[in-house]
Structure 1
Amino acid sequence: MKFISPKVDYAFKKIFGSEQSQAILISFLNAIIYGGNQIIQSLTIVNPYNPGQAMTLKDTYLDVKAVLEDGSIVIIEMQVARVSAFSKRVVYNLGKAYTNQLGIGENYLTLTPVIALTITDFILFNQTTDVINQFVFQEKTKKFEYPDAELQLFFIELPKFKKTLSELSSLSDKWIYFIKEAATLDTIPDKLGEVNEIELALTIANQAEMTVEELEFVDRRAMMFQDEKGRITYAQEEGRKEGRKEGRKEGQITEAIALILRQLKKRFGEIPRAMTSQIEVLSLEDLESLGEDFLDFNRLADLEHWLEARGD
């Protein structure tokens, strides 16, 4: 038995956003948003998974959107690679889902809350080791929440989740493990199978139940994401190399300035602050030249003339 990875957006849509996924999505949302409490009893999946659409439409179709029984809207997104302005995009999508509820002249009382639940395969918040983080509007100093809890952001950061199969205890643990590790499984473990909705999710994720076209599309999406992550990693490494190179050069400049100032002071006594400032902004090449030329200086005026010539 082999399972597709829920981290691929296409697979995520198939597992959590299909016509038969209501129970799966209810269990998952209750686990993440409500700590395992059975608050959500029913929901409607908007734009459910359709193989033909998923293979031809743009990436936004692959998000999962649901309307809860109280009218609240939930948007669930799986993001594998970090992209530019990602955090802004999440907020934009949240705000758009909220404002799109109203037509011209309609009453604000008809607005219902919107929750954006984003799963990332990269670390977004270095300030905490928590796997799940929730953001709401609240007063900055007293920390009390805004009267209408209309907008909420939830994030699951998969790299922070370190628990093994035997360590899973809560419902949220099991769902996060499923998303992160499903592709590594060859059977349905008892620990996951005891949750009926996760067993159903693994059944949907079973590659044996997918068409050749679906499997090929999943493979292409997975390779695309791997390539994107590879490009990002390469760019970061090149940036670090460049930074180290710049750091070494800055260190050489600092050492050259200190050495030349010591030599000049030893030869001419105290160097005027104006000249010192001019020396401190010289390039490494000019500092090397000064290190050779000052041996020919007979007085401080020679240094002054040399600096003036460099400044022209």
Structure 2
Amino acid sequence: MRKREILPSNDLLFKKLFASPKNRHILIGFIHDMIGLNVVDVIIENPYNIRTFKVTEDQQEFLETEVDVLARLDDGSLVTIELQVRREAHFIERSLHYLSEKYVSNYARRDLEKLKDDIKEDKYGSLRPVYGINIVYFDLFKEDDKAYHRFTMYDVKNKIELKNEDGLPLLSVVYFDLTKPRDTLEGEMPYWYDYLKSNKKVKEAPEYLQDAYKVTSYENLEMEEREMLDAVERARSKLDAQMLYAEEEGRKRGEREGLEQGLEQGLEQGLEQGLEQGLERGLERGIKQTKIDTAKKMLKMGMKVEEIHAVTDLSVEEIEKLK
């Protein structure tokens, strides 16, 4: 078998790494390093299963690079982990929506109301902290060069963080930016940076991270996993090629339209403006058509309008018309 180097950012590898019950110690170490929680144990609420990755050839075109992992800690708190490789419109808004949705989902859960003996049964007592960890492979905050950001609810005037009776922030979101300098990180985070960005193995990394290297090593995968991983890689390459082709065709069309418009105006200024406007229009048309074609195929696959909107960024009204 040939040896392959595939980054942990691959959908299947990432899910196997953080959502496999047998790898809970790796997840616990990651949570501790990212948000400083001393976790005793976790329950993975969306556990990894290779069969969930089995898709048809058509579906492979639309495999997203984002992966959500949902884990419940021993105190009832929830941790979400999301991987985002490509820049996406309203990504921050979506990450906060997901965080808030998980927070509200605990409301009135009787098993969570009784977590502490000194707390009487109360529907609001079931609202446990939710922590969101987002790993991004694009420049999210252009205004600074820090690779790690953590946000909570905070009184900016009096410098007081909003916490529950246990002294924990109710909502906390982390953005781990792998495009920013490594030397801005502290603790064990530089080792995670090396691993997630380039699959770099560091001897000084903690033991649970050494185990992570083994879990995502291509030669340690099962045959079914290797086959699915190869299929996902092919699908991603195909989608990238289609988008590149659409952009190139849009650029060519824009140049032609711009030249025609500029010649009609007969002025040097008009030519320059026409080229610019035509190029922009052509690019927009090429990308728009690719999104429409993608949405049509997703509709044939029976996917929901909301899911198609999230992938293609077409409006709900546009998708309904296509439907």
Please report the TM-score for the alignment, with normalisation by the length of structure 2: 0.62
Q: Once the 2 structures are TM-superposed, how far is the Cα of residue 189 of structure 1 from its aligned partner? A: 4.2
Paired position in structure 2 for 1:63: 68
Is 2:153 the partner of 1:137? yes
Paired residues of 1:78 and 1:120 also in contact (CA < 8 A) = yes
Aligned pairs for 1:33-72 within 5 A? 33-34=35-36, 39-56=38-55, 62-72=67-77
Q: Return closer, same or farther for 1:115/1:220 CA change in 2, 3 Å cut-off.
A: same
Q: Deviations over 1:189-246 (max 9, x none)?
A: 4233xx211111111112112133312322333444456567778888979xx8xx8x
Percent pairwise identity: 26
Whether the 8 Å CA contact 2:65–2:86 is kept in 1: the answer is no
Partner of 1:176: 193
- CA–CA separation in structure 2 for the residues paired with 1:126 and 1:144: 27
Find the aligned partners of 2:235 and 2:158 in 1 and give their Cα distance. 45
Per chain length, whose mean CA-contact separation is higher, i.e. which structure has more relative contact order (CA < 8 Å, sep 6+)? 1
Q: CA deviation at 1:170?
A: 3.2
2:297 alignment counterpart:
none
**Is the Cα contact below 8 Å between 2:11 and 2:65 reproduced in 1?**
no
Q: 2:84 aligns with which of 79, 85, 93?
A: 79
Q: What's the counterpart of residue 157 of structure 1?
A: 177
Structure 1 residues 104 and 179: alpha-carbon distance in aligned structure 2, compared to 1, 3 A threshold: closer
Q: Are the structure 2 counterparts of residues 121 and 91 from structure 1 closer, same or farther at C-alpha, using a change threshold of 3 Å?
A: same
Q: Distance in 2 between matches of 1:101 and 1:222?
A: 37
Partner residue, 2:135? 119
1:190 aligns with 2:203: yes
Q: Is 2:221 aligned against 1:210?
A: yes
Q: Gaps spanning 5+ residues in structure 1: where?
A: 250-254, 257-282, 285-312
8 Å contact kept, 1:63–1:75: yes
* Residues 12-27 of structure 1 aligned to structure 2 (within 5 Å): 12-27=14-29
CA distance in structure 1 between the aligned counterparts of 2:238 and 2:187, rounded to whole angstroms = 34
Return the letter of the residue paired with 2:219.
A
- 1:105-152 C-alpha deviation (Å, 9 max, x unpaired): 971111101011010111111122111101111124334222442111
- 1:155 Cα shift? 0.6
1:88 has 2:108 as partner: no
Q: Distance in 2 between matches of 1:174 and 1:87?
A: 25
Deviation at 1:33, TM superposition (A): 1.0
Correspondent of 1:221 among 232, 236, 241: 232
TM-score normalised over the length of structure 1: 0.64
Point out the structure with max Rg over C-alpha: 1
Contact (CA 8 Å) 1:3, 1:205: kept in 2 or not?
no
Deviations 1:264-307 (A, max 9, x none): xxxxxxxxxxxxxxxxxxx99xxxxxxxxxxxxxxxxxxxxxxx
Alignment partners' CA distance in 1, 2:89 and 2:48: 27
Report the CA distance between 1:91 and its aligned residue.
1.2
- Measure, in 2, the Cα distance between the counterparts of 1:135 and 1:8: 27
Distance 1:8 1:139 in 2: 38
- The farther-off stretch of 168-177 and 144-153 is 168-177
C-alpha spacing 1:44/1:60, structure 2 compared with 1 (3 Å)? farther
Structure 2 letter corresponding to 1:65: L
Report the secondary structure of 2:226's partner residue: helix
> C-alpha root-mean-square deviation of aligned residues, in Å?
3.8
1:3-39 CA distance string (max 9 Å, x none): 53211122101011112111101111111112xxx62
Classify 1:177/1:200 alpha carbon distance in 2 versus 1 (closer, same or farther; 3 Å). same
Cα contact 2:15–2:69 (8 A) shared by 1: yes
Separation in 2, partners of 1:190, 1:168: 18
Aligned residue for 2:6, secondary structure, equals: coil
In the other structure, the counterpart of 2:13 is: 11
Q: Distance in 1 between matches of 2:104 and 2:226?
A: 37
